[in-house]
């Protein structure tokens, strides 16, 4: 028997997929990037479903904060560039 449970979250769906797998003997959690390659970000084996859910929640929170912090930094830099263009003009 093989069971796969996808963990749904509105924030996660844009950047990663989180799921728990059970193959009849082992429980493991996996986090996959939403990209053209569906790159595996992290995975871990567990004794109990509750442990897997707690690990996924903590790991996904950490990865989501990191991802959006990076995007925020890019946005701040982009705004500074736009402000400089507006103030100083744009020349080729």
SS3 at position 84? helix
**Average pLDDT per run of 10 along the chain, which is 92 residues long?**
78 85 92 85 93 93 89 93 91 78
> pTM for this one?
0.72
């Amino acid at each position: 028997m093989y069971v796969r449970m996808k963990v749904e979250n509105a924030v996660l769906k844009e950047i990663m997929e989180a799921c728990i797998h059970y193959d009849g003997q082992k429980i493991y959690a996996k986090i996959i990037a939403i990209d053209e390659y569906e790159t595996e970000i992290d995975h871990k084996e567990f004794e109990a479903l509750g442990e897997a859910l707690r690990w996924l929640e903590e790991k996904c929170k950490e990865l989501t904060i990191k991802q959006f912090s990076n995007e925020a930094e890019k946005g701040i830099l982009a705004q500074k560039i736009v402000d400089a263009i507006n103030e100083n003009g744009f020349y080729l």
